[in-house]
Amino acid sequence: MGALRERFWELPLSALNNDEWEALCDGCGRCCLHKVEYEDTGEIEQTNVACKLLDTQTARCTDYKHRKAFVPDCLRLTLKIVDSVSWLPPTCAYRLRADGDLLPRWHYLISGDREDVVRAGVSVAGRVIPEDMAGPLEHHIVEWEDPEDWDGEDDWGEHGEAPA
């Protein structure tokens, strides 16, 4: 654990304490959706089907602290694996920082408003269905679009280049 340092999100991921690591998440909920993986090719497709613990209206986990007890295969994103999780969205704060990019201007740590991730069209809040209503995942394959003109640069926060 540890206190949140000023502008901690500009530090390398390896320098973050536990609280800072947790606070980096933008709350988009996109990693909390089921995926379809094809055995023969290894290809992974996104769906609009939410994990049973996800509140579909807010895109927040309803029991984050105990999620592993209810969903044993819930991914716990760590520094060791962040580079190898291919399906993280390009907007994911962990992916951005792992690549040395700064957070986008709609990230709550930059804008000060947790709803900006919804306004930017990044959050899945209100756009997904619960897994117990979905039926076969193959019927729910979608492509989640990134914010208009998203290229990882125009959407950066106001602090310029990420530190090396």
Q: Which residues bind ligand SF4 (CB under 6 A)?
A: 25-31, 77, 88-89, 92-94
Nearer to ligand SF4, 66 or 135 (CB): 66
> DSSP readout, 34-80?
EEEE-TTT--EEEEEEEPTTEETTTTEETTGGGHHHH-TT-----TT
Nearer to ligand SF4, 26 or 140 (CB): 26
CB of 77 to ligand SF4, least distance (A): 6
CB of 139 to ligand SF4, least distance (A): 23
CB of 21 to ligand SF4, least distance (A): 10
161: number of Cβ within 10 Å: 9
How far is the C-alpha of 81 from the C-alpha of 68, rounded, in Å?
A: 17
- The identity of residue 46, as a single letter, is Q
Nearer to ligand SF4, 13 or 31 (CB): 31
